[in-house]
Amino acid sequence: MPNFTYEALNETGKQQKGTITAANPDEAIARIRSKGLFPTSVREQKTKKKKGGGTKQPAAAGTQKKKTFVIAIGGIKRKDLTAFTRQLSTLQDAGLPILRSLTILEQQQKPGLLKNVLMDVQEDVSSGSTLSDAMAKHPKVFDRLFCKMIAAGEVGGVLDLILARLAEFMEKAEQLKGKIKSAMTYPVAVITVASLIVVGIMYFIVPSFEKIFSDFDTGLPLPTLFLISASKWLGGRLYENQALPGIVWVLGSPIFIILGTKLIRKSQYGKAATDWLLLKGPVIGQLVRKTSIARFSRTLGTLIGAGVPILDALLITRDTAGNYVFSKALDKVHDNVRQGESFSPPLREAKVCDAIVTNMIDVGEETGDLDKMLIRVANNYDEEVDNGVESLVSLLEPIMVVVLGVIVGGIVIALFLPLVKMMQSVMNQGG
Q: Note whether 24 and 83 are same-domain residues.
A: no
Question: Would 358 be classed as within a structural domain?
Answer: yes
Rounded to whole angstroms, what are the CA distances from 83 to 78, 89, 107, 340?
9, 10, 15, 39
Name the residue among 409, 412, 417, 407 with its Cα closest to residue 213.
417
Give the model's confidence band at 69: pLDDT under 50 very low, under 70 low, under 90 confident, else very high.
low
Higher pLDDT, 71 or 203: 203
pLDDT at 18 over 90: no
pLDDT of residue 72: 52
Higher pLDDT, 177 or 327: 327
Question: Would 98 be classed as within a structural domain?
Answer: yes
Q: How many residues does the chain have?
A: 431
pLDDT of residue 134: 92
Least confident of 264-278, 296-310, 329-343, 417-431: 417-431
Q: By the 8 A CB rule, do 8 and 16 touch? A: yes
Instruction: Give the structural domain span for 35.
Output: 3-45
Q: Note whether 129 and 194 are same-domain residues.
A: no
Q: Note whether 319 and 381 are same-domain residues.
A: yes
Q: Note whether 262 and 400 are same-domain residues.
A: yes
Question: Would 130 be classed as within a structural domain?
Answer: yes
**φ, ψ dihedrals at 36, nearest 5°:** 85, 20
H or E element that contains 96: none
Give the model's confidence band at 385: pLDDT under 50 very low, under 70 low, under 90 confident, else very high.
confident
CA distance 42 to 119: 18
CA distance 18 to 26: 16
Q: Note whether 137 and 177 are same-domain residues.
A: no
Question: Would 147 be classed as within a structural domain?
Answer: no
Q: Note whether 135 and 185 are same-domain residues.
A: no
pLDDT of residue 184: 80
Question: Would 67 be classed as within a structural domain?
Answer: no
pLDDT of residue 391: 85
Q: Which pairing describes strands 3-9 and 38-46: parallel, antiparallel, or unpaired?
A: antiparallel
Q: Note whether 350 and 267 are same-domain residues.
A: yes
pLDDT of residue 57: 44
pLDDT at 9 over 80: no
Residue 55 is given by DSSP the state B
pLDDT at 81 over 50: yes
CA distance 356 to 145: 26
pLDDT at 168 over 50: yes
265-303 pLDDT, tens per residue?
888 889 889 989 888 888 788 888 998 898 889 888 888
Q: Note whether 33 and 136 are same-domain residues.
A: no
Question: Would 70 be classed as within a structural domain?
Answer: no
In whole numbers, what is the pLDDT of the chain averaged over residues?
83
Question: Would 58 be classed as within a structural domain?
Answer: no
Q: Note whether 112 and 211 are same-domain residues.
A: no
pLDDT of residue 64: 42
222-269 pLDDT, tens per residue?
888 999 999 999 988 888 787 888 889 888 888 999 999 889 988 888
pLDDT of residue 63: 40
CATH number at residue 135: 1.20.81.30
Least confident of 52-66, 144-158, 324-338, 377-391: 52-66
Q: Note whether 114 and 242 are same-domain residues.
A: no
CA distance 227 to 216: 17
Rounded to whole angstroms, what are the CA distances from 93 to 58, 128, 241?
28, 22, 71
pLDDT at 104 over 50: yes
Q: Note whether 135 and 235 are same-domain residues.
A: no
Domains in the chain, number? 3
Least confident of 5-19, 262-276, 348-362, 407-421: 5-19
pLDDT of residue 62: 40
pLDDT at 65 over 70: no
Q: Note whether 26 and 97 are same-domain residues.
A: no
Question: Would 69 be classed as within a structural domain?
Answer: no
